[in-house]
Structure 1
Amino acid sequence: MSFTFIFMVIFCLESLASMLQNGFIVTTLGREWVRCRALPTGEMIMACLAASRFCIHMTATLNNFLSSFNFSHVFILLNTFWNFFNSLTFWLTACLALLYCVKISSFSHPIFFWLKWRISRSGSRMLLGSLIICVLSSISSLFGSVITVQLTVSQSSYGNNTLDYGSHTFFFKYFIFHEAFFLSIPFLLFLLSTISLMYSLCRHLRQMKGHRPGPQDPSTQVHIMALKSLACFLIFHMLYYFLLIINSVKTTRFYIHWPWAWEVIVYAGLFLHSTILMLNSPKLRKALKKKIQDIGHRQVIRL
């Protein structure tokens, strides 16, 4: 059994687990949304983020299997959809981090209070703004893909090595600029929001040391757990971002020889990131526990 086949199976299982996980988040929060006709801004963004990640894994799986066949038009279409959902994931993650920052942080600056009041009431506007930006990103990606394919077809028709070099140069420069522009802005916003929130929590812990008996205090434990979650949240999202930028170049030896292994590593960060979101939500934890209990009862009844 080859290593390529092993990593292919691992990638498929990882994608399936991610789609089940994000599908569970969308179903749980979607039912609550329909039942109450409203959701808190954080849960609204989380539901949209889970839906976007579900679509990312689905299109990535189709992309990886179709890339070995000569379906250029289908591949361009899937790649455009993937770019749209990937950009949407980055913007929604940035919006979620910004929301957590303004809701939990204890900064006393007037601008911060204005942001806290404004963002908490602008969930639908944040979603609409992210959607518009990502549509523009996908149009840009489609434009670049079409030009690259036309250059490649021209090269194959005339056998011109200069055109071949030109198509690769265009692809490299255009998509590096595209990824750097459309992904770096939300990533930097996410990074700034998360670091600010971690700084605020660390400062709060230092203040509590002089007033609380020690680390066994429940409030202190909650803040320590929040810091650990944020640290993991930051690491996994940074891992996904940097691996994605490297993946867009496709020049590393590891990617050339082990493409499926590279895909497993890239999407592992996304899967773990979603896991943290799910486990940090009391509503989702409760729904997951109930779901597991229901499955256990069904198994007992069958036996």
Structure 2
Amino acid sequence: MPSFPILFFMVIFSLVSLAAVLQNGFMVTFLGREWLRCGTLPAGDMMVACLVTSRLCLHGISILNNLVNFFGFCYRTRYLDIFWDFVNTLTFWLTAWLSVFYCLKISTFAHPVFFWLKWRISRSVPRLLLSALFFGVLSATSTAVGNAVTIQTITSESVHGNCTLSHSIITFHRWYFFWHSLMMWLTPLLLFLGSIILLMFSLYRHMEQMRGCMLGPCDSSTQAHTVALRSLSFFFIFYVLHVLTQFISRVQLITIWNPWYWVKETVLYAGIFLHSMVLLLSSPKLRKVLKTWFSDLCCL
């Protein structure tokens, strides 16, 4: 029988995951319908649509993976781990590219290279989405190779009865997936951080120019900078926490019967849910549709 802390955080995790599935499902439904109706989407909405779709899959896989682990079907989680790694890496890269997109579209630097990137970014969105998909496939392939080597080593140990291999298996699994995570997740984290720093510097320069021109502090450019920074900075905290926690869990395995496992799961997926909520509330179209839906529900 699970202890009370485990049950408590399991319930919180389940509620957060259910809310996230409903939230991302709403965004996927609306943006997907717009995509089918118009045949295309603005570049920013296209990236958001792909991101919330990947997050919907990520929440669904996390629920399924935890249920399978909890009920003792551990041998089946190897395939779920590969799919989870694919979607998790895909989500990281989509989030990083979305931050780069916001940075280039909103920042007001006068350098020719920046102008060229600003002009090219909307046309490059399909390529950015394909690159995120490529890194997701690469990550899943790396995970599959690591799992295959681990299983082969365990099989060899059981055949030869060599007990010294147990420590080697643990060490290999720990450090292989540590470097795997470092290579797959650190680069999008640095892109994310760079986008935030550039946006902050752009906002600072813009505010200085406005003071020199004796303009008010509430122009559209300032508001765009503020909204983007609020969204990116908020999620960056959870992004860093997510990456660090995954690194730690790669090195120090935490079982599903440890309360800290469910604390970690709750915090991580709550952070992703809250960032999706910020994206939802930052979009006038999505806000309007959500308000209409709530109004219709209240009238029933």
Amino acid at match of 1:149: I
> Following TM superposition, by how much is the alpha carbon of 1:120 offset from its aligned partner in structure 2, in angstroms?
1.3
Q: Secondary structure at the match of 1:161?
A: coil
Q: What is the alpha-carbon distance in structure 2 between the residues aligned to residue 153 and residue 176 of structure 1? A: 23
Other-structure match for 2:181: 179
Quick one: which of 268, 277, 298 aligns to 1:266?
268
Q: 1:280 aligns with which of 279, 282, 286?
A: 282
How far 1:102 moved relative to its partner? 0.9
Equivalent AA in structure 2 for residue 106 of structure 1: T
- The one-letter amino acid of 2:208's match is R
Residue 208 of structure 2: aligned partner = 206
* Letter of the 1:54 counterpart: L
Specify the alignment match of 2:151 in structure 1: 149
- The match for 2:137 is 135
Q: Deviations over 1:178-206 (max 9, x none)?
A: 10001111111121122211221122122
1:96 to 72, 79, 98: 98
Question: Alignment partner for residue 244 of structure 1, among 243, 246, 271?
Answer: 246
Residue 258 of structure 1 aligns to a residue whose secondary structure is helix
Residue type of the alignment partner of 1:65: L
**C-alpha separation between the residues in 1 aligned to 2:215 and 2:122?**
34
Who is 2:39 aligned against?
A: 37
Aligned to 1:301: none
Contact 1:101-1:194 within 8 A present in 2 as well: yes
Following the alignment from structure 1 to structure 2, what is the Cα–Cα distance between the partners of residues 20 and 165?
Answer: 43
Percent of residue pairs identical: 49
**C-alpha contact (below 8 Å) 2:54/2:90 kept by paired residues:** yes
Which residue pairs with 2:10 in the alignment? 8
* 2-structure distance, mates of 1:138, 1:240: 18
* Aligned residue-pair number: 298
Greater Cα offset, 164-173 or 229-238: 229-238
Q: In 1, are the aligned partners of 2:206 and 2:222 still within 8 Å (CA)?
A: no
Deviation for aligned residue 1:256: 4.5
Output the CA distance in 2 between the equivalents of 1:225 and 1:77. Answer: 39
Q: Is contact 1:148–1:167 with CA below 8 Å preserved after alignment?
A: yes
Q: CA deviation at 1:274?
A: 1.2
Greater RCO (Cα-Cα under 8 Å, separation 6 or more): 2
Any stretches of 5+ residues in structure 2 without a counterpart? none
Q: 1:134-163 deviations in whole A, cap 9, x for unaligned?
A: 112111111111222232344345543311
Q: Aligned-pair distance for 1:247?
A: 2.7
Deviates more, 1:90-99 or 1:238-247: 238-247
Q: Which amino acid aligns with 1:274?
A: S
Q: Which runs of 5+ in 1 are unaligned?
A: 299-303
Letter in 2 for 1:186: P
Q: 1:171 to 1:58 in 2, by over 3 A?
A: same
* Cα RMSD, aligned residues only: 2.3
With over 3 angstroms needed to count, the CA separation of the structure-2 counterparts of 1:222 and 1:257, relative to structure 1, is closer
Matches of 2:243 and 2:278 in 1, distance apart? 17
**TM-score, length-normalised on structure 1?**
0.90
1:94-141 per-position Cα deviation (integer Å, ceiling 9, x unaligned):
111111111111111111111112221121121112112211211111
Specify which of 116, 119, 134 is matched with residue 118 of structure 2: 116
